[in-house]
Structure formats: structure tokens, C-alpha cells
Amino acid sequence: MAGVAGGNDFQWCFSQVKGAIDEDVAEADIISTVEFNHSGELLATGDKGGRVVIFQHEQECKNRPNLRGEYNVYSTFQSHEPEFDYLKSLEIEEKINKIRWLPQQNSAHFLLSTNDKTIKLWKIGERDKRAEGYNLKDEDGRLRDPFRITSLRVPVLMPMDLMVEASPRRVFANAHTYHINSISVNSDHQTYLSADDLRINLWHLEITDRSFNIVDIKPANMEELTEVITAAECHPNQCNVFVYSSSKGTIRLCDMRTAALCDSHTKFFEEPEDPSSRSFFSEIISSISDVKFSHSGRYMMTRDYLSVKVWDLNMENRPVETYQVHEYLRSKLCSLYENDCIFDKFECCWNGSDSAIMTGSYNNFFRMFDRNTRKDITLEASRESSKPRATLKPRKVSTGGKRKKDEISVDSLDFNKKILHTAWHPKENVIAVAATNNLYIFQDKIN
């Protein structure tokens, strides 16, 4: 069967897998975020151990032009350390919640990374020269006696082995009482927003000691709290517009030109609930775990527990497209509630042309939907199909009755293997899929 992407029918094949194959995975090695930069040349992952690993796309092989270059480790650094809030007697995890790249302005790359409380701006730069011939110190770095300096030397730059350095340029701290769930760089490239459960702050990239609170949904009495903010994102080309989603399944679009505090929204997106399908779990599964604007800025996509919805920004009363991700789990909600899986936060992403979308599921399955042909496909990130250039076979889940040969039964799905984080290359059909501690990279099959 053909794959899904950008309206073209083609097959996905295995390219690479990163990470150890161990059965017992260390908690710190579990990948918690995946993000391509704006050119797709770099791919960053963050993990629960507070580390950021950046992969760089190598150039294609000249003698084998049909093979795309691979992604190899470019830089690894410890972004966040575990901390302790002594006032509240709370441990602050080092886990990286989100990474967002800044558009490249010069030879260096910049990214924002955040844990639950602190956002950091990192510069990743290359050095292949070093200065030699100082006047005041010897080659080994020791200071020279000023009285023994008899001549003036002009330091020269000498070539050295390429070194990639990651250095923290800014630390944005102490602005969030609750856990940060989103950061989003604005299209003016000067500001960004950060969101926690109850508030959204607007920062200037150059200013670390203050931010502007632009949304605050905290009630005067916390017992009256009915919803929390689950995700927020800036519009891709209107720097005054942003959206945020809530645990009640609603999305609010705000315009910063109307008021400094955007507690009153400009648009309110909500799909009326079908009373016949209402159950004990309705509110939990309607909570939105991710919201993403399309690259064009015309649409936005939201992910709830069972589906992905595409909304036209000009139509608030219902989504223009709804895609069922794993409808066969509706009958299993009781056991998913008991094992806490019902609270899993799946992310979603667009392809570069906004014609296809991808999101994750359980059993290391991930789903793709073609918006033009309405075709969909289920693929699996597994070591079994990790031979070079191996074509990914579509997977099917049987929902009762007689199971066909290639199908997998709902009851044998592994709910500990889940694809929460995925990323799609901004210009090519290359995707990155995080499966626990492994990062899988797949690409379209070039014949």
C-alpha cells in the first residue's frame, strides 16, 4: 500500500535509529521532545535527563546519489540540572519539556530549551581556529613576567580540529509558578511566549529579568478552577496573534493589539459535543494535548486523546477536518484510565506543505493522514524493520471478530510503547519519531 505525504503516493522506508537497544531503559534516556530547525539541516532532541542532543544532516554520497545523507551527532550538552525549590519543598526535574529553534541569522545556531520552570537560550557555534602568540602568557596559558617581555608579538589564528561549542546565552527564570508546557518563538524573531497551566508570559529574547503576563486564567479561589492551559503557540506570520488550548477541549485565539492582558479572547473554537456519546471519560479525552498552526497560518491542528482536528481560523463552531487516530481504544477507556494512559499527551505535526499530518499512538505505532486524498496509514517504529532502506509495512489493528493474518489485536497492544513526540522535516519527506529512548528517522523511498 502507498504511504501518505503531500498528496503523493509513495512508500516510507527506514533510514536510521539512534539510542541503545537495552531492554531496561534508564529513565533519564527517555526522549521528551524532538524538533527540526527551520532548514531541516539540524535535528534536536531533549530527554528526561536534561540533555540536548543535536544531529546534523550529512551531505549525500556523490557516488550513490539516490541515498540521502544521514543525521549524525553534532553536539551534546547538559541543558538543565535537577533543582530544589526550598520555599515549596519541591524537586524541579531536569526533563526537557520543549525545544524551539530560532531562525538562523549568522553562522551560529540558537535554540530555546525549557524544563518545568526555567527557559534557556543556547548558542551552538563552531570553532576551527585558535589564537597563538600572546604577549602576556605562554603557549600553555601561564602568565609571563612583564619585565621579561622585550618585544611585541601580533597573535595569529592557527587552524585546529573543528570544535562545536554549546554555550548558554540567556537564562529566563522565576516567571512561572506552575509547570511550563509550551514555548513558542514569535514571527518578529524578537519575542517568544511561554505557557504554564494557568498563565502565559511574553518575553523579549534580550531581556531575562522581566516578562509580560498576557494571559492569566487563575481564579481568585482555586476551588473554582475548572480548566487549565495545555498548549500555546504564536501565529507563524502575524506577530500579534497567538492561540492557547485548554483541558476542556476549547481553543482561544488572542490578538495582542486589542489589550495588553489577553484574558478576553478574539476567537473561541469549540466543537459541540454529541450528547449520545457522552460518558464518564468525555471530559478527559476531549482535553487538547497539542496545538499547531499550519505553515501558511490559515489553519491550526489540535490533538486530543482519540483524534486530530484541523480548524480553519475563519470558522470557530467546528473543525473542517477530523481524523480518528485510534478509535478502537474507545472501548478500552476504563483500563486506560486505571493505568493512567488516558492522560498521555500526544503531539502532532504538519509536513512542509501542510498537505499531510502526523501523530503518534501506542505499540510504537504512528499515524499519517493525507489531507488531499483523505488516505491514512499506520506505521510502526520498531527494530524489526530497521534494516537499511527497509520499506515500512502498513499496520492494521483488528477491532473484534475474526482477526486477519496481518492484523494485531487491540488486546495485544503494548501501552508502555508510545509515540508521543514526532517531527517532520520542513522541506523534505523525512520524519523523526521518538520511541522511548530511541529516535527513528524515516524517509520516502527513492527508487
For 18, half-sphere exposure in the C-beta direction (CA atoms, 13 angstrom radius) is 21
What are the residues whose beta carbons fall under 8 Å from the beta carbon of 62, sequence distance 6 or more?
Answer: none
Residue 4 in domain: no
Q: What is the pLDDT of residues 103-119, one digit of tens each?
A: 998 889 999 999 999 99
CA-closest candidate to residue 251, choices 324, 312, 179, 327? 312
Provide the 10 A C-beta neighbour count for residue 172.
24
CB-based contact 9:374 (threshold 8 Å)? no
CATH number for position 242: 2.130.10.10
Q: Could you tell me the pLDDT band of residue 403, with boundaries at 50, 70 and 90? A: confident
Instruction: Report the relative pairing of strands 241-246 and 191-195 from DSSP bridges.
Output: unpaired
Q: What is the pLDDT of residues 262-272, one digit of tens each?
A: 888 999 999 98
Q: Strand order in 365-370's β-sheet?
A: 348-350, 356-360, 365-370, 376-380
Q: For position 138, what pLDDT does the model report?
A: 78
Q: Could you tell me the pLDDT band of residue 369, with boundaries at 50, 70 and 90? A: very high
Residue 162 in domain: yes
Residue 3 in domain: no
Average pLDDT, the chain: 90
Q: For position 446, what pLDDT does the model report?
A: 67
Distance CA(327)–CA(306), nearest Å, equals 6
Residue 6 clears pLDDT 50, i.e. is over it: no
C-alpha cell at 229: 492551559
pTM of the entire predicted model: 0.89
Residue 216, domain extent: 12-140+154-444
Q: What is the pLDDT of residues 290-343, one digit of tens each?
A: 999 999 999 999 999 999 999 999 999 999 999 999 999 999 999 999 999 999
Residue 7 in domain: no
State how many domains the chain has.
1
Distance CA(394)–CA(414), nearest Å, equals 17
Residue 284 in domain: yes
Residue 300 in domain: yes
Q: Which residues pair with 102 in a beta bridge?
A: none
What are the residues whose beta carbons fall under 8 Å from the beta carbon of 150, sequence distance 6 or more?
Answer: none
Residue 289 in domain: yes
List the end-to-end C-alpha distance of the chain, in Å, as a whole number.
16
CA-closest candidate to residue 195, choices 222, 229, 228? 229
Provide the 10 A C-beta neighbour count for residue 389.
12
Residue 226 in domain: yes
Residue 65 has φ and ψ, to the nearest 5°, of -65, -20
C-alpha cell at 224: 473554582
